[in-house]
Structure 1
């Protein structure tokens, strides 16, 4: 059984977790089970996020393109402005019955993102008008980059990973490139999916982790990497692991770990942030099961590559309340 010194779960019923560390402060944002709002938590310690009061900064519209299924928000600080990326769908009807998500952005220029005013920046337009979600941002080679998942109607499968440089925090410039598509068996269980990308730099390489397959116990993480000096807009410069790098642990009763982000501890240690369930008996659509809990664990680097290990078991030895 893998041990974990962090509370596990850290926060219950929060999927697609994202933790941002800025100026000795940790900020947390994630999908809520109702998929109806965006809320931020803040704490002066990483584990303090569990007890921090969530502050709702935006709610879904009653109709229109931002009125349903608010998914996978991320909070970023880009050139002095707070940005939230998220995916939303238009009001559903029995007639369509399909996910029609697009990507959107909010911006806040106040110093405090919990009390400042957030303005809607609209849909982030990309060349293909199709199902798109899970946008993230990172800085590399002195540029701001936008990385996301999207369905290409001409490519079999549900979603691929795309990269573009940002012109502004809510608009891309140039032509995006596809970094990865589902091709291995472990990426195509239930659904053919590459989604939830997250970037981290280590040594002479830039890494992109991502999640694959259906959001049940088949969900797992893959990995891409590139030499830090290489052009990230040339797909051939990227390498892809042929095997998953973080998967279900039946021994530890941790199922479907994924949709990760990265943060650091108080001592600067690299940490993996992810969600997973502790059971497999899901009634109905896994997307509507609320018990994908936020979890964190340390990981190591070996021969220049991240080693994420095995999802540690739930740890209830501490009696802190982590349910929100």
Structure 2
């Protein structure tokens, strides 16, 4: 199966998951006013699949503005969408006022049944936070997100906690990484957009750093699968970005990724957004041209991911290949 990048236009922070033989796609929309979802039995079919609005921001309230980076996750009692939202577009102390919130749907199919607002997911730190993801490992469900800490300079760091329920963390947040290298502090001091992939005896977490223009790039932290994931000492961090702007291929600011698998059920896929031009008029936040892209993820002999360069054309294995 051949795909061309960009894969889906004007959809930033793309999250693709596969469940029971179907693919699900959600992302930030340029208007930042709603949560959307599309589904297809094939990855290629997502590009033209009908997009359903699961929820629209109300006219006022804590989640009424700037709806960012939704992610769809399955839990025992239904489906959840985690997303960041603010009460307004007001900036205080240099930051928007986002907190994490959740939607819930008890149906077997997330494209059917009622979606209800499940409220705020309290991170334990009352400050700007965003980009939550969730994953299960060895019987424990974890919550991993980006968060401003009042005592740490910069916009956001990455934190992890176990989950008591799909909307409540258990125990104090554990700091995993903060912006520290030169490539993480370009324009803004940011670690955000975490995504987890468990392979080859390791728990990998990608994240994105710096301003959301051509300086945006992806980093990597990882822990041994047998280690205590709630112990910061279990985690290692790459001093260099693993995926970044490729001027020759006209791919600028790749980042805020997710992972899925190809239709063969084996090949790992990297899903990310990027722009195909550098010069942005005005604030990059309001530029709609962050497009969803996809390409295979490679692995080296040591079981470490190899991200390579952004690809404009990709060949993906199909079911039964």
Cα distance in 2 for partners of 1:190, 1:291 equals: 19
Specify the SS of the correspondent of 2:233.
helix
Indicate how the Cα distance of structure 1 residues 300 and 96 shifts in structure 2: closer, same or farther if over 3 A, else same: closer
Where does residue 298 of structure 2 map in the other structure?
Answer: 300
Cα distance in 2 for partners of 1:51, 1:126 equals: 36
Where does residue 234 of structure 1 map in the other structure?
Answer: 231
Cα distance in 2 for partners of 1:134, 1:94 equals: 18
Specify the SS of the correspondent of 1:164.
strand
Which deviates the most, 94-103 or 40-49? 94-103
Specify the SS of the correspondent of 1:130.
coil
TM-score (normalizing by structure 2): 0.95
Deviation readout 1:153-200 (Å, 9 max, x if unpaired): 110111000000011100001111000000000000000100000000
* Contact persistence 2:66–2:89 (CA under 8 A): no
Cα distance in 2 for partners of 1:94, 1:81 equals: 35
Cα distance in 1 for partners of 2:89, 2:193 equals: 23
Where does residue 139 of structure 2 map in the other structure?
Answer: 142
Gaps of 5+ in 1: 317-324
Specify the SS of the correspondent of 2:4.
coil
Where does residue 121 of structure 1 map in the other structure?
Answer: 118
Mapping for residues 28-177 of structure 1, pairs under 5 Å:
28-93=25-90, 98-177=95-174
Cα distance in 1 for partners of 2:255, 2:186 equals: 14
Where does residue 181 of structure 1 map in the other structure?
Answer: 178
Where does residue 288 of structure 1 map in the other structure?
Answer: 286
Alignment match of 2:189 (pick from 192, 217, 220): 192
Specify the SS of the correspondent of 1:257.
strand
Where does residue 310 of structure 1 map in the other structure?
Answer: 309
Deviation readout 1:285-307 (Å, 9 max, x if unpaired): 10110000000000111021100
1 or 2 for the larger relative contact order (CA 8 Å, sep ≥6)? 1
Gaps of 5+ in 2: 315-321
Indicate how the Cα distance of structure 1 residues 95 and 226 shifts in structure 2: closer, same or farther if over 3 A, else same: closer
- Verify: 1:251 aligned to 2:248, yes or no: yes
Where does residue 277 of structure 1 map in the other structure?
Answer: 275
Cα distance in 1 for partners of 2:187, 2:83 equals: 24
Cα distance in 2 for partners of 1:120, 1:292 equals: 27
Specify the SS of the correspondent of 2:285.
helix
Cα distance in 2 for partners of 1:5, 1:210 equals: 27
CA RMSD of aligned residues (A): 1.5
TM-score (normalizing by structure 1): 0.94
Cα distance in 2 for partners of 1:99, 1:121 equals: 22
